[in-house]
Structure 1
Amino acid sequence: MNIERLKFESSESTAVQIERDLREAIIRLDLTPGAKLSEQEIATKLGVSRQPVREALIALSKSKLVSVRPNRGTVVSRISARQMMESRFVREAIETAVAARACANFDPWIRSTIDDILGRQEEAVQKQDYHLFRKEDEQFHLAIATGAGCTLAWSVIADVKAHIDRVCNLQLRKLDSLGKLMREHQAIIEAIDQREPDKAVAAMRTHLNGILSDLPRIEADNPELFE
């Protein structure tokens, strides 16, 4: 189990920090599906008591990212294609509506930050740095929601998308994926700039549905990671 990436920020409670960083480790597949998680081991490495670790694991179990088994310990849940599909359905419903709203009214300062995000994504494409690309992908979608005045919508998406993110992490490792996703981002923001809601909705839907065509290949290539 690799928990070396865990870090603390004083503005958050210890349990929230541990949950956040374990979640990220699970999404990045640093903690692989089926891996056993020890409360005591995590607590010892972080220099904390077991209580905040227990709280973090309970929170992750509610998101179905880990399975807490009485008398058998806690393990990282295997990827569920069904849960991923349900999460993608929710995300598409919300983000296409956000894209349409962005065409009607979009904060100009937030719009300027999107150019910086796309610039960093372009660098990630050139370096084939899929971890950086995924980080900036999240910033891109957050910026659209924020610019459209829909930050609450993003908080709902953020709560359900972890199941998609693990599959996305595998998708991004395919050499031609980064460039394709980059072009899709550019199409979305172009439609928003042109104030064309139908075009923005279609571009967002195309972007979010891309993972559906890749899912059979991803699952076939990584059977040990899936239920």
Structure 2
Amino acid sequence: MSEFSDFTIADRPAVSLQIYQYLKQAIISCKLEPGRAISEKEIASSMDVSRQPVREAFIQLAKCSLVRVYPQRGTYVTQISIKSVLDGQLIRSSIECALMERLTALISAEQLENLTYLLSQQQHAIDTQNYQLFLHQDDAFHQQFALIADCPLAWETIETVKAVMDRVRYLDLTRESTMEQVLSEHRAIIDALANRDVHQAKILLKQHLSDFPQVIKSIQERYPTWFAEQ
């Protein structure tokens, strides 16, 4: 597991949280591919840390359904559950579309400017072909919907369900023109919000979040062993 030798410990947050965040990103980007066995002992040795924070990170990853621990057998990165991804997409779409009513009534010129700034960051990610940065800025854009609507619990809920979706989202970004398409759809949503057109905003957002079945099919054709139906 020498690929983890680039891990460095910062003063904060807790070491276990740093390891969790590092491993989570490695799983989302499929650096740790679905189905792969991972060893608490080997990761601890590679990162030059004790096994306890790695064990704690594994527990958090298991709660997100990103790893599964089999007693006496070991810990494995989970396959991508098609059902879980589609269930997560349904929940996320329902929550975000429900936010549009309040969002279009409350959004200010300053908040629209902030959303537009996030689009410039997404453009930078496209220019540098930085998929991880684009995914981060995509999340920041959608998180603003909940914050502007004064409903932070909505994003907390979405974060919980989208953990199982993020590998598909990341792999989709690696396809040609996907990032450009996402950015274009974000611009259209901002235009609808600026016009306080809640009906159009809901339509655009629902379309924006509705293509997961086609995306899954395309990715599954490339990586069939990475997926599970359930």
TM-score norm. by structure 1 comes to 0.92
Match of 1:99 in 2: 100
**2:218 matches 1:217:** yes
Residue type of the alignment partner of 1:58 = I
Structure 2: 5+ residue runs without aligned partners? none
Please name the residue that 1:87 is paired with: 88
Asked whether the equivalents of residues 5 and 47 of structure 2 are also in contact (C-alpha less than 8 Å), the reply is no
When the two structures are aligned, how many residues end up with a matched partner? 227
Instruction: Specify the SS of the correspondent of 1:175.
Output: coil
Runs of 4+ in 1 over 6 A off after TM superposition: none
> How do 1:119-138 residues align onto structure 2 when only pairs under 5 Å count?
119-138=120-139
Q: Where do 1:10-159 residues align within 5 Å?
A: 10-159=11-160
CA drift of 1:148 comes to: 2.1
Q: Which amino acid aligns with 1:196?
A: D
CA–CA distance in structure 2, aligned partners of residues 72 and 49 of structure 1 = 21
Q: Identify unmatched segments of 5+ residues in structure 1.
A: none
Q: Percent identity?
A: 36
2:198 is matched with which residue?
A: 197
Superposition CA RMSD, Å: 1.8
Classify 1:3/1:146 alpha carbon distance in 2 versus 1 (closer, same or farther; 3 Å).
farther
Normalising by structure 2, we get a TM-score of 0.91
* Counterparts of 1:109 and 1:30, CA distance in 2: 38
Mapped partners of 1:118, 1:4: distance in 2: 34
In structure 2, do the counterparts of structure 1 residues 108 and 81 end up closer, same or farther at CA, with 3 Å as the change threshold? same
SS in 2 for 1:212: helix
- 1:5 Cα deviation after fit: 5.6
* CA deviation profile, 1:110-158 (whole Å, cap 9, x unmatched): 4322222101212333344333221211111112222222222111111
